[in-house]
Structures are given as C-alpha cells and as structure tokens.
A and B are shown apart, each in its own frame.
Chain A
Amino acid sequence: MITQSQYFDIEEYLQHECRVIEPDLLEELIDHFMNGIETVKLSEEDFIVAFEVVKADFGGEAEVRKIQRRYQVNALKTHAKGVFLELRSYFQKPFAWVTLICFTLVTTFIFYYKLQLVGWDRIHVWLGMISGSLFGGVFITMVFYFQNKVEFGSHGFQTRNWFTFLATQIITLIICIAGILAGLVVVPIYAQSMTAFFAMLGGLIIVAIFRYSHRELYPEYT
C-alpha cells in the first residue's frame, strides 16, 4: 500500500522532474506509477527501490515528457477537429449564407462610399476602427442574446419551424445593420466606413462563436 507521503513523492517527481502539467495526464500517470510500485513492492519492500525500478521501466523523465508532448498534440488535434466540425456545421446553415450576403452587400456599399468621399490616411480611421469594434461588439452581443431567445426559446433547435427560421434571418439582418449603426454613432463622419467594417467583422465573429454556445461542444469526445 502506498502511503500519502509516497504519493506526494510520485506526484513531485512527475510534476517537477518530468514537468507534467496536464492535470488529467498527471492523475493517470500517478495511478500508473502507484500500480507499478505496488507490484514491484510485492517482492521488494523498499519504496525507493521500487520507485526507481518503475521509473527505469517507464523509460525515465524523457519518456514521460514525450508522452505529455504527444498528449498535447493529440488534444490540440482533437480540439481543432471539434472546432472545424462546428464551423462546418455553422457554414452549412442558411443562416450563414444570409449573413454572408448581407455582409458583402453592406461592406461593398461602405467601401464605395469611403473611396468616393473620404481619404484613407486619417488618424480617425484607426481610432474609429478600435472604438467602433468595441462598441459594435457589445451592441451585437446584446442583439445576439435576443436572437438566441427567439430561435431556441420555445421550439428547440431540432424542431424549429418556419417562423423561427424567418425570425433568425431577420435578426441576422438586424445584426448586420447594428454593426453599421455602431460605427456611425461612435466616430466622426470620415471614419465611419472602416469602423463599420470592423464592427461588422467583430459582430460576425461573435455571432459565429456564440451561435452554438448553447450546445455541448464535441459531444462525441465527452
């Protein structure tokens, strides 16, 4: 039987000498070491000796670090795969197409307006981009909150009917307009187009991120 102080010895070895920082992996390896030590201790009473045997059996610190590296790479791949699946499902929805069309129409108009009336070299443009993006982000998040309420409120994602679908499209359009309004409100007139552009970009990113926030991410991996 492993005592508590021996448990801490194993934990310290893994954390400090092997530099294991992933909590799940750490727990798993501690259990593995304890099992190994308990098995060796059946024939060898001394914990230190048994610990050394298991360490050597494992392949030393380098091997543990290698396991952690591969664990991290694998976790990253799994995460990336989950994000990709989410994004793919998002971009397959009619919502994404409507958003894209709105976005393209409005930004094309803004850039045309900008090129025709105002120069590109003013400091206000940059101030406008920053302030407008921040303001737009907050504003659009609020709008999105209500969008979620409408879309998923009483129907649920799987059973939504044409009304909720229509409501989603309308609110998407409102989100696009909200981005433009945010830019118009915050900054001087000659900075508004870039502001609106970035506010809308920020808004679309927020929508993309939060649209599926009510769903459990990567259910197949949990």
Chain B
Amino acid sequence: MNDVPPQILKGSLSIIILKLLSENDAMYGYEICQRVKEITEGQMRVTEGALYPALHKLEGEGLLRTHTQLVEGRTRKYYAIVPDQRGQAVSRLAQMQVFLENLQQVLNPGVNVTLT
C-alpha cells in the first residue's frame, strides 16, 4: 500500500535518503527501499524508478559517494554521505524539518506542533 502521492514523495525522496544514510554508514538501493517500507510499516513505498535516479543525482551533486563490495559473488554498490558533506546533509534535513513544522501550522492553525 502506498498512500503517499508520487509528487509529494518525489520532492522528499532525497531527504529520506539523506536521513537514512546519516543514520547508517552505507546502504545499497534495495536496502533503502526495504528500510522505508519497514519504518512506515508499508504505508510508504519508494519505487525503484524514483529511488535510483535520486541516488545518482545526489551522487552527481557530490553529496554521496559510492563503493562496491563483492557480496555472495555479486557486486553490490553502497552509497554513503561524503564525510565533508555531512553538514550540508544535516542542513537539508533541518530545512525540511522547518518546512514540515510550518506546514503543520498551516494545516492545523493554533496547534503548536514540534516534529522530532
């Protein structure tokens, strides 16, 4: 089940990736898909068609770096945040946090909501 409209997911996919990678040293594409499904208990599904271009874009922007590892005889590509770009990643996460808090204010005026 995927209740999140694609256009909303598309805009926040890079944030999801950065958040997961900031909590893990390195992750591969399938692992990210599964992790999102697990965290959201299946409510949100990241499609491969959106995930891989987003990963490649972040890699192209210099925020992520990759390394490959031989796992059970096959090559696996891991993504990790570039160490000196961690600040940038944190900043993007913080921006999204502020945006979501503002959105909450608009959706629920008068209710003081702080996202953690």
Contact = CB atoms under 8 A, between A and B. Distances in A.
Interface of A: 1, 7, 24-25, 27-32, 34-36, 39, 57-59, 63, 66-67, 70-71, 74-75, 77-78, 81, 220-222
Contacts of B101: none
B74 A31 contact: yes
A32 B48 contact: yes
B74 A67 contact: no
A13 to B, nearest CB: 14
A28 B60 contact: no
Interface of B: 28-30, 34, 47-49, 52-53, 56-57, 59-60, 62, 65, 68, 71-72, 74-77, 82
B52 A67 contact: yes
Contacts of A222: 65
B59 A221 contact: yes
Nearest to B74: A31
Contacts of B30: 31-32, 35-36
Contacts of B62: 220-221
Nearest to A57: B48
B72 to A, nearest CB: 8
